[in-house]
Amino acid sequence: MEKKDFIYEGKAKRLYTTEDPDLVIVEYKDSFTAFNGVKKATMGGKGELNNKISTKLFEYLASKGVESHFVRQLDDIHQLVKRVQIVPLEVIVRNITTGSLCKRLGVKEGMVLVRPMIEFSYKNDELGDPLINDDHAILLGWATEEEVAKIRAISIKVDEILKEYFAARGVTLVDFKLEFGKDSKGNLMLADEISPDTCRFWDSSTGDRLDKDRFRKDLGNVLGAYEEIWKKISA
């Protein structure tokens, strides 16, 4: 499948049409951004790593019955995916307290939550992806009540599957962000990517950060951490 027309460029990916109106090509870029685009960098090989990692995780989720937009990996930096309309919500699933949760509520980092915590943000860069609740999403027309219920159920299932998958590979899945889309028939499915850009991974024995926090917090060896995740899941 070949790229046809350019559709859209986001912070980490570009999208292109194909000859099939229901399929689009995602190109993974080498760029890093954080703090709503304020901090930026480019690192050669990052796009390829996220493409490989995301492919592996979408394939694993599909094998466990979780549908996503992913169709197949095309080459180092390209994936073929179903064309979907993105639901303008960022769905955050947390297993351990850290990040914006601790900043916002003043709670201590590293607390293991008794069950996964789900948060919704309104996906809007200009507003800085503000935290919202189910009522905002439903009553402001961003998702129906049924869709919100389905999004919660799928997010919890993804957490169960990936938590166990990573635990078996010596990695703690701390939290992650999911996005959902709807295909031309209105079917809701997982979309975007699942990678060290969108998840927090802690090495289970050393506590080392193996994700984008290395970039956000200037911890160094950013791509080394992404490589480490790839090594652990491709072994």
Q: How far is residue 115's CA from residue 117's CA, in Å, rounded to a whole number?
A: 6
- Among candidate residues 229, 81, 96, 226, the one with its CA nearest the CA of residue 173: 96
Q: Do 108 and 46 touch, CB atoms closer than 8 A? A: no
Count Cβ neighbours within 10 Å for each residue of 178-207 and write b for 16 or more, e otherwise.
Answer: bbbbbbeeeebbbbbbbbbbbbbbbbeeee
Which residue number, 55 or 198, has a Cβ lying nearer to ligand 5GP? Answer: 198
CB of 156 to ligand 5GP, least distance (A): 15
Which residue number, 129 or 228, has a Cβ lying nearer to ligand 5GP? Answer: 129
CB of 72 to ligand 5GP, least distance (A): 23
Q: Judged by CB under 6 A, does residue 92 bind ligand 5GP?
A: yes
CB of 18 to ligand 5GP, least distance (A): 25
Element (H, E) at 92: strand 89-96
Which residue number, 69 or 177, has a Cβ lying nearer to ligand 5GP? Answer: 177
Of the candidate residues 147, 159, 197, 228, the single one contacting ligand 5GP (CB under 6 A): 197
Contacting ligand 5GP within 125-154 (CB under 6 A): 129
Of the candidate residues 212, 214, 215, 230, the single one contacting ligand 5GP (CB under 6 A): 212
Helix extents (H) in 46-144: 46-63, 99-105, 134-139
Of the candidate residues 24, 61, 171, 199, the single one contacting ligand 5GP (CB under 6 A): 199
Q: Judged by CB under 6 A, does residue 50 bind ligand 5GP?
A: no
C-alpha triplet 127, 83, 173: angle, nearest 5°: 60
Give me the residues that bind ligand 5GP (CB under 6 A), please. 90, 92, 99-101, 129, 175-177, 197-200, 212
